[in-house]
Amino acid sequence: MEEDTALDDIDAAEGRRLAMPLLALWGSAGLPARLPTLDIWRGYADDVTGAEIPECGHFIPEEQPGALLAHLTPFLAGETSR
């Protein structure tokens, strides 16, 4: 983990950003629900979409699989608006 953090710091210092589409999903009962999650990810990536999943904690696939599929399917098909 320390090595990952160091490499992330180097990338940030050199202005490297994630160029691929990024989908950020988080549960309404988790820590990210209290943070500006999309704004945080937009600090690292150029093409960010995402959403809070209602009535969900940390384990989205187990707690809200239908909601996960509703977001993941169009994203993987390239159908999300950016």
Verdict on whether the full-model pTM lies above 0.85 = no
The predicted-structure confidence for 59-75, as pLDDT tens digits, reads as follows 999 999 999 999 999 99
The predicted-structure confidence for 49-61, as pLDDT tens digits, reads as follows 999 999 999 999 9
Residue 10 pLDDT class (50, 70, 90 cuts): very high
Task: Give the single-character DSSP code of 8.
Answer: H
- Residue 25, H or E segment: strand 22-27
The predicted-structure confidence for 15-52, as pLDDT tens digits, reads as follows 999 999 999 999 999 888 899 999 999 999 999 999 99
pLDDT of residue 81: 54
DSSP per position, 29-59: TSGGGGTTHHHHHHTTBSSEEEEEETT--S-
pLDDT of residue 71: 97
